[in-house]
C-alpha cells in the first residue's frame, strides 16, 4: 500500500526560527509511527482511507478533522532547545497543561517518567504513556511524539475530538484489552469553553513562535 510522509521533512529541517504548526486533516487519516511497518494496517474495509507516516516514535494514530493537532519545530540554538530528549517532550506537555489547567476541570498532570504500558498495545499511540504526555484525572488527554535531528527537534501533539477506538478496525491484529487501553479524554469530555481561546493559550504558553497552518488534504 502507498505510504506518504506526513510533512516535507527536508524543508522542515531548513527552518531557522521556532515554528508552530496548527494542523488540520481534511478527512480521516491514519498516521504510522516512524518505525512502524505498513503491514500492521489492513485497509480492506475502507480502501479510500489514506495512510501517512510521521517521523518520530509511537504507534498508529487516527486523525479526524475536528482534532486539535499542533506540531512544534524548535531549531538548534533556540532558547527552548535542549539536549535532553525527555525534557524536550516535558516542556511541550507543560505548555498544554497550563492551558488545560486554565480551561478544563480536574487534575492535570504531565507524565515525566519513562515510557509505560503493555508492549503489545504500543501498536496504537494513545494506548500508552510517554514523557511529556498530558493526563486529566488520570486519563490520557494529549498524545506526543518527538523527532530529533541535528538542526532541531520536531514534536507532534494531538488532543482528539472524540473516541478513537475506530482505529482498531484498521489493525491486522488487535491485542486483547487494547480497546480498554484506548480510553482517553477528548474535546467532548473536557469542558474547555471557547476552542479558539484555548488554542491561543496553548500557543502563547511557549511562545513566541512563527505561526503556520498545515492542511493535510
Q: Is the pLDDT of residue 193 over 90?
A: no
Domain annotation for the chain: domains and CATH numbers: 11-216 (3.30.930.10)
What are the CA-CA distances from residue 114 to residues 22, 163, 179 (Å)?
27, 25, 23
**Taking the model in full, what pTM does it have?**
0.96
What are the CA-CA distances from residue 196 to residues 59, 123, 200, 202 (Å)?
28, 32, 6, 10
Sheet with 4-5, strands from edge to edge, namely 4-5, 50-53, 29-32, 61-63
* Whether 129 contacts 117, CB under 8 Å: yes
User: Does the N-terminal peptide bond of residue 161 adopt cis geometry, omega within 30 degrees of 0?
Assistant: no
pLDDT tens across 120-134, in order?
A: 999 999 999 999 999
What 3-state class would DSSP assign to 43? coil
Q: Is the pLDDT of residue 1 over 80?
A: no
Question: Average per-residue pLDDT in the chain?
Answer: 96
- Residue 144: per-residue pLDDT: 98
Confidence band for 50, pLDDT divided at 50, 70 and 90: very high
pLDDT tens across 56-106, in order?
A: 999 999 999 999 999 999 999 999 999 999 999 999 999 999 999 999 989
Confidence band for 217, pLDDT divided at 50, 70 and 90: confident
- Residue 212: per-residue pLDDT: 98
Q: Is the pLDDT of residue 142 over 80?
A: yes
Amino acid at each position: 500500500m502507498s505510504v506518504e510522509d506526513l510533512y516535507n521533512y527536508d524543508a522542515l529541517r531548513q527552518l531557522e526560527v521556532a515554528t508552530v504548526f496548527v494542523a488540520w486533516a481534511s478527512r480521516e487519516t491514519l498516521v504510522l509511527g516512524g518505525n512502524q511497518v505498513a503491514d500492521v494496517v489492513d485497509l480492506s474495509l475502507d480502501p479510500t482511507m489514506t495512510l501517512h507516516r510521521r517521523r518520530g516514535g509511537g504507534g498508529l494514530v487516527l486523525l479526524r478533522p475536528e482534532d486539535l493537532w499542533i506540531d512544534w519545530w524548535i531549531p538548534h540554538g533556540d532558547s527552548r532547545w535542549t539536549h535532553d530528549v525527555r525534557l524536550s517532550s516535558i516542556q511541550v506537555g507543560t505548555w498544554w497543561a497550563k492551558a488545560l489547567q486554565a480551561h478544563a476541570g480536574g487534575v492535570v498532570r504531565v507524565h515525566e517518567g519513562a515510557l509505560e504500558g503493555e508492549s503489545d498495545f504500543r501498536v496504537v499511540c494513545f494506548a500508552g504513556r510517554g514523557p511529556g504526555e498530558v493526563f486529566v484525572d488520570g486519563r490520557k488527554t494529549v498524545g506526543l511524539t518527538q523527532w530529533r535531528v541535528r538542526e532541531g527537534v520536531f514534536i507532534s501533539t494531538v488532543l482528539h475530538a472524540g473516541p478513537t477506538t475506530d482505529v482498531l478496525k484498521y489493525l491486522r491484529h488487535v491485542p486483547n484489552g487494547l480497546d480498554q487501553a484506548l480510553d482517553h479524554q477528548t474535546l467532548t469530555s473536557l469542558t474547555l469553553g471557547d476552542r479558539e481561546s484555548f488554542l491561543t493559550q496553548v500557543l502563547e504558553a511557549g511562545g513566541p513562535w512563527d505561526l503556520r497552518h498545515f492542511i493535510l488534504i
